[in-house]
Structure 1
């Protein structure tokens, strides 16, 4: 499956920027768009850039790259969120460039500011961060894991909700 975003944009290892496979991107877009409200792709340009059609109007990208419905997000300034984004998003997808406690704490502060009441949160990181993410965001590891072809270690998804798709095995990786 060809994904136009993946064809157009190359990964940048110097920024710790690696893309999900086209199948994983499609999976994440489906999860996000199943939410009835507005969606925030927090440091997830590959998924945001793959959403097409009328659903795109309710999606926002918080990242360092520009586009429509874009906010220039810097986790080092996690509190610098305009008031019109406060408590706005019903679904937040998070894929930070780094997996340290300090970075996840910054992202958690942002989520608490921009998440609507009962917002669904889906995160991507290493299994070793499970306790940290449970503490910061109240999320649990999902069965479905992403394929990130050029990353040397395996990531997992963590969510504060569950559904049938999250509890399936990603056939691309077999576990």
Structure 2
């Protein structure tokens, strides 16, 4: 059911179920109707950054685990990819707009990784994460969840390809994230309008869309 066209290290697919609503419109709608909660360090990427992320993900993924990234999950344009993907988040308010597919949303507390559903073990070829905190102890718990969710090479269609990871965090975490998950910074830096400090994106593969400079962020 997937029609794959190889684009460098990633595969993009066309779908008969692509939504007429653009990623930019979906992103704007999400940001407009969901109020950020600073008590939970809950801040949204800008619509332009969301659009860039979705383009990157849709080029590279068939099944995605979105960890604490509802703005990305609800901006997916391709309905097949959306139905094959899962949002994992602590806040059940985000479950209200999922499809009838019961696996679209999983309530997840990063302090309780032992409660992750067993059917999600190594079930995703792509994981994207944006933890609410930048500390090492929180990142280790997210890394544990990522390693649980991400497909292992021996189970992939192409056993030479490892599962892909995309995360965001502060620049000071670059060395730590490389040691933890073999991640390297991307050229595109996310715009998070209401966050006072600048984040970077980090990935474990050669990104395509995110290798460009974000025009929102001064160089």
1:145 paired with 2:180, answer no
Contact 2:63 2:126 in 1 (8 A): yes
1:62 to 88, 96, 119: 88
Give 5+ residue unaligned stretches, structure 1.
Answer: none
**Separation of aligned partners in 2, 1:142 and 1:22:** 18
1:120 to 164, 171, 184: 164
TM-score (norm 1): 0.95
Q: Secondary structure at the match of 2:197?
A: coil
In structure 2, what is the equivalent of residue 161 of structure 1?
Answer: 205
CA RMSD of aligned residues (A): 1.3
Deviation at 1:29, TM superposition (A): 1.4
In structure 1, what is the equivalent of residue 55 of structure 2?
Answer: 30
What does 1:1-175 correspond to in 2, within 5 Å? 2=25, 3-54=28-79, 55-66=81-92, 67=95, 68=98, 69-117=104-152, 118-175=162-219
Q: Secondary structure at the match of 2:131?
A: coil
TM-score (norm 2): 0.76
Deviations 1:67-113 (A, max 9, x none): 23001111111232111100011111110000100000000001111
Aligned residues: 175
Question: Which runs of structure 1 show a deviation greater than 4 angstroms over 4 or more consecutive aligned residues?
Answer: none
Contact 1:79 1:109 in 2 (8 A): no
Give 5+ residue unaligned stretches, structure 2.
Answer: 1-23, 99-103, 153-161
Larger radius of gyration: 2
Deviation at 1:173, TM superposition (A): 0.8
Deviations 1:16-68 (A, max 9, x none): 00000001011111222222421011110111121244132122100023323
